[in-house]
């Protein structure tokens, strides 16, 4: 879905949410055979990132992207 349509449908999405959602979705769709593995990696990175956030520790780029992706999904869930 186009970012403008996502923004219209889910007005709580911000620029970081949209960028993360777009980047991760592109990566997931790029290789259908690796989609499940890649999604598991994203979710694991998000879990690590949330643990680091709770401990006020810095996140690496993969964790930051994964946490933003999961937050975007949560906003789209309602």
CA torsion sign, 77 to 72 to 29 to 8?
positive
Q: Is the confidence at residue 19, as pLDDT, over 90?
A: yes
Q: Is the confidence at residue 11, as pLDDT, over 90?
A: yes
Q: In this predicted model, what pLDDT tens digit does every residue of 22-59 receive, in sequence order?
A: 999 999 999 999 999 999 999 999 999 999 999 999 99
Place of tokens 């309602």: 78
Give the pLDDT of residue 78.
Answer: 72
Q: In this predicted model, what pLDDT tens digit does every residue of 50-78 receive, in sequence order?
A: 999 999 999 999 999 999 999 999 999 97
Nearest to 42 by CA among 56, 21, 57: 21
């Amino acid at each position: 879905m186009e970012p403008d349509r996502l923004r219209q449908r889910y007005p709580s999405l911000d620029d970081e949410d949209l960028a993360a959602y777009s980047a991760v979705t592109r990566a997931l769709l790029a290789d259908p055979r690796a989609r499940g593995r890649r999604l598991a990696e994203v979710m694991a990175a998000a879990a690590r990132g949330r643990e680091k956030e709770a401990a006020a520790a810095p996140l690496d780029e993969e964790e930051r992207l994964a946490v933003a992706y999961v937050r975007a999904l949560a906003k789209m869930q309602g």
